[in-house]
Amino acid sequence: MKSAKILHLHSTFNLGGKEARAVRLMNHFGVQAEHTILSAEPDSLSARDALDAKVKVEFPKDAPSLAGKPGLGRYRELIAYFRRFDLILSYNWGSMDGVMARTLFSRVEGLPPLIHHEDGFNEDEQKKLNWKRNMFRMFALGASQSLVVPSERLEQIAKSVWKQPDGKVQRIPNGIDVKRFEKKPQRGALPGYKKQKGEVVVGTLAGLRTIKNLPRLVRACAAAGDNVRLIIVGEGPEKAKIEAEAQKCGMADRLLMPGFLNNPARYVGLFDIFALSSDSEQFPISLIEAMAAGLPVVSTDVGDVMSMVSQPNQGFIKPASDEKQLVEALTTLVQHEQLRQDVGAQNRIRAQAEYNESKMLARYSMLYGRALGRSDFGNKN
């Protein structure tokens, strides 16, 4: 059967939660699809390193830009480009001009179906949604075939704020290959790190962005004990600010930021505690990875985090507005090794039962296959 030509419209293709999921799906589809990736940030493409060699993918330099002021001229260029493909997959606000173009020119013949994915919001919408963007989304999504969200909160927003009909909104929780995280982590997988006797390692995987509020995590680790080591895996513009906070808190010699590291299954299990300090999340894949590795979690109460973790872990999920409670939760786990092991074991059981990627892959395969008119799309049998 001929490969499906799929166009991906991304706000950024640096490896984060949505990019990791997109890459996993692309790897799963293998030779059944050929992919073209457009990023509103053309140089943000680190997720390409996680693609399997068998996947046919291109990152064109001469394609219409996703960035810029909305306008009919830009939209016509996008529409002309869209004709080359069998399916368009768009992701988050940074791709919304492409979504709007598809709706404005929906009566033009020969255009492929579009499925939009929303995974959360940037710093400017963490406290209150932007009403202009709400109106833009509400209209732009009019001709999309489906709107995919991973979390209950986003499902509610899609229906009540963006006024999307029930039949269009598809909630597909993120999933991972949990078995890969059951294996022992690899020593040396974290460059520049060797665990010291008595040290408790708090780790996180996060883009170094304002919305992740990593200085908050630095302060919490500094207050939780002199034996706490903090490891932040990720890249982004906030690195200098995080380092400055560590210097201020006396954590500079206990903070390791190795940058982006592929294949988290190799190293997440080297952490003793997984932590999220974000001001906003939805359904973070990194949290599922930590749970699958058998880690206890300390986090701000954002998105679906509270309902994702096991019941014994819920007491360590604290309001984002109360840093003192976050410190207390972290300190408790730092001081009690058996508690860490017990809570982590319950998280692993929950991840195995609820967040295995087989369900996620099957649902996405069915959704994309229906849009492509191919009932066997994604079927490996």
- Domain hosting residue 220, numbered range: 178-354
Statement to judge: residues 182 and 309 lie in one domain = yes
Alpha carbon distance 225, 245 (integer Å): 16
Statement to judge: residues 225 and 327 lie in one domain = yes
Q: Does some domain include residue 52?
A: yes
Burial of residue 380, with CB atoms counted within 10 A of its CB: 0-12 exposed, 13-18 middle, 19 or more buried: exposed
Question: Is the Cβ–Cβ distance between 317 and 305 less than 8 Å?
Answer: yes
Statement to judge: residues 326 and 184 lie in one domain = yes
* Nearest of 87, 95, 143 to residue 119 by alpha carbon: 95
State the CATH number of the domain containing residue 366.
3.40.50.2000
Residue 125 has what pLDDT? 67
Q: Does some domain include residue 27?
A: yes
Q: Does some domain include residue 379?
A: no
Residue 17 has what pLDDT? 79
Statement to judge: residues 112 and 183 lie in one domain = no
Statement to judge: residues 109 and 134 lie in one domain = yes
- pLDDT beneath 70, residues of the chain: 122-127, 380-381
Residue 81 has what pLDDT? 97
- With a CB cutoff of 8 Å and minimum separation 6, the contacts of 111 are 79, 82, 83, 102, 105
Statement to judge: residues 350 and 217 lie in one domain = yes
Residue 343 has what pLDDT? 98
Residue 127 has what pLDDT? 66
Residue 347 has what pLDDT? 98
Q: Does some domain include residue 381?
A: no
Q: Coil, helix or strand for 229?
A: strand
Statement to judge: residues 335 and 362 lie in one domain = no
Statement to judge: residues 144 and 220 lie in one domain = no
Question: Is the Cβ–Cβ distance between 86 and 112 less than 8 Å?
Answer: yes
Statement to judge: residues 183 and 155 lie in one domain = no
Q: Does some domain include residue 324?
A: yes
Statement to judge: residues 198 and 169 lie in one domain = no
Statement to judge: residues 171 and 246 lie in one domain = no
Q: Does some domain include residue 380?
A: no
Alpha carbon distance 231, 271 (integer Å): 8
Q: Coil, helix or strand for 304?
A: coil
What is the domain count for the chain?
Answer: 2
pLDDT digits (tens, 9 = 90+) for 299-333: 999 989 999 999 999 999 999 999 999 999 999 99
Alpha carbon distance 90, 98 (integer Å): 8
Residue 262 has what pLDDT? 84
Give, in degrees to the nearest 5, the angle at Cα 305 between 304 and 310.
Answer: 115
Give the CA dihedral 231, 177, 1, 107, nearest 10 degrees: -60
Statement to judge: residues 118 and 76 lie in one domain = yes
Residue 126 has what pLDDT? 62
Residue 259 has what pLDDT? 92
Q: Does some domain include residue 21?
A: yes
